[in-house]
Amino acid sequence: MRSLRVSSVALPIEFGDETSNFAAARAALQRAEPGLIVLPELATSGYVFGDLDEACALSMTVDDPRLTGLADVVPDGVVAVIGFCERAGEQLFNSALVFDRTGTLGCYRKAHLWDEEYRFFSLGAEAGTLMDTPIGRLGVAICYDIEFPEVPRRLALAGAEVLALPVNWPLADRPAGEHAPETIQAMAAARASRLPIAIADRHGTERGVTWTGGTAVIDRDGWVVATPDAHGVASAVVRIDASKALGANNDVFADRRPELY
């Protein structure tokens, strides 16, 4: 068992203003404490593309110097995740880059596309991904991926110790006083697999879309343990534990009976 500092940042993203968005990302990364820091989905471009040409104009390859240059400002001991619009040949992907001060550690392409994302993006080839990083075994998924319980469960069964979740959650109607439905799903996923989750969401509005503002850190018991401070940063120290025990007599992995499902 060990502890890990996990931070999620609600960046002030301006659609199409890549210069401003990268500046905001660099500022957040420079302030990061050792551990994991997660920035939102499509943080470099914004989310609400008008057409394919606009998406292409705001896309970049995984080795774009603007992206890879973010590693230069990451403090020692920090692993970072940022969402971006990836261009690969003739295809676009809704992707998340994982990196530390040494450079790129991996890239994940979103598997489950939401609403009009099909107009712009191709489907990723894996449902979440798992990476060995200096802070441990990191699971990565993007936004709508979390609404499929198989995704966080698959990553946890494969050994993920913490899940990074960049998102852009459009605001959904809900009863007064209730969490957003996506937050509830993330809380359930965390508890079901004893897996801490770092959610970096959008706040405010973009081109008429109002965001949920669901940036949070959820611990392995399924509780929200951090929400954004005045700087938009939700940060907490969470417990990383290979044990999947739930109380004295149960284990959420050992008690599974997949032959019945």
193-217 pLDDT per residue, tens: 999 999 999 999 999 999 999 999 9
Give the domain range for residue 253.
Answer: 2-260
Instruction: Give the CATH number of the domain where residue 110 resides.
Output: 3.60.110.10
Contact 166, 38 (CB under 8 A): yes
Sheet strands (E) in the chain? 2-9, 35-38, 78-88, 91-100, 103-109, 129-133, 136-140, 162-166, 197-200, 205-206, 209-210, 216-218, 224-226, 233-240
CA distance 35 to 96: 18
Domain count, the chain: 1
CA distance 244 to 51: 45
87-125 pLDDT per residue, tens: 999 999 999 999 999 999 999 999 999 999 999 999 999
Helix (H, G, I), strand (E, B) or coil at 248: coil
Q: Which two tokens stand for residue 231?
A: 């700087």
Contact 48, 202 (CB under 8 A): no
CA distance 9 to 28: 7
pTM to 2 decimals?
0.97
Give the angle 169-173-176 at the CA atoms, nearest 5°: 115
Q: What CA–CA distances, in Å, run from 173 to 21, 61, 179, 211, 235?
A: 29, 36, 10, 12, 27
Encode the chain (261 residues) as per-residue pLDDT tens digits: 899 999 999 999 999 999 999 999 999 999 999 999 999 999 999 999 999 999 999 999 999 999 999 999 999 999 999 999 999 999 999 999 999 999 999 999 999 999 999 999 999 999 999 999 999 999 999 999 999 999 999 999 999 999 999 999 999 999 999 999 999 999 999 999 999 999 999 999 999 999 999 999 999 999 999 999 999 999 999 999 999 999 999 999 999 999 999
Helix (H, G, I), strand (E, B) or coil at 53: helix
